[in-house]
Amino acid sequence: MEKTIRTLDDLEAEAVFFVHTLSPGTKATLVTLSGELGAGKTAFTKAVARALGVEETVSSPTFVLEKIYLLPDDQSFKRLIHIDAYRLEKGSELAPLGFDEFMQDSGNLILLEWPGKVADALPVPSKKLSFTVQPDGARTISYD
């Protein structure tokens, strides 16, 4: 499935739709976000965070690698974990971030940018999203 995002309102609506497609399983829900720099991965994560009720400012974890947001009690997930693997070179570099422990908790929703950098350490994701910038500036989100 593909969706074209032309405005910030479209992005917010898509994030709300996406959140409603998710439900906790027996382990963490892993969502991978692929696409070139500036394709909209972090913007989508911010919109997902808002859709989940995160009130604090959500920013890219490029330099700190991960950020953890506690979710309101009315959400089906307990935590949103945003990981940016852009600066990592191999999957084993996820271990110091607590990735394996995060994956064991069904209350965690993990959004991971740049999964190709750490593919050797990733389980099969619950959802795979790919972001593409169109010539007119719109973004296409492809769901696998």
Q: What is the pLDDT of residue 20?
A: 94
Sign of CA dihedral 94, 27, 32, 20: negative
Q: What is the pLDDT of residue 63?
A: 65
d(CA 108, CA 35): 23
Q: What is the pLDDT of residue 54?
A: 96
- At 39, which CATH number? 3.40.50.300
Cα-trace Rg, the chain: 14
Average pLDDT for consecutive 10-residue bins of the chain (144 residues)? 93 94 95 94 95 89 84 95 94 94 97 96 95 95 93
Total count of domains within the chain? 1
> What is the pTM assigned to this prediction?
0.93
Geometric angle at alpha carbon 32, from 11 and 60, rounded to 5°: 65
Which domain range does residue 33 map to? 2-143
Nearest to 66 by CA among 96, 21, 25: 96
Q: What is the pLDDT of residue 11?
A: 92
Token pair of 131, please?
A: 């972001």
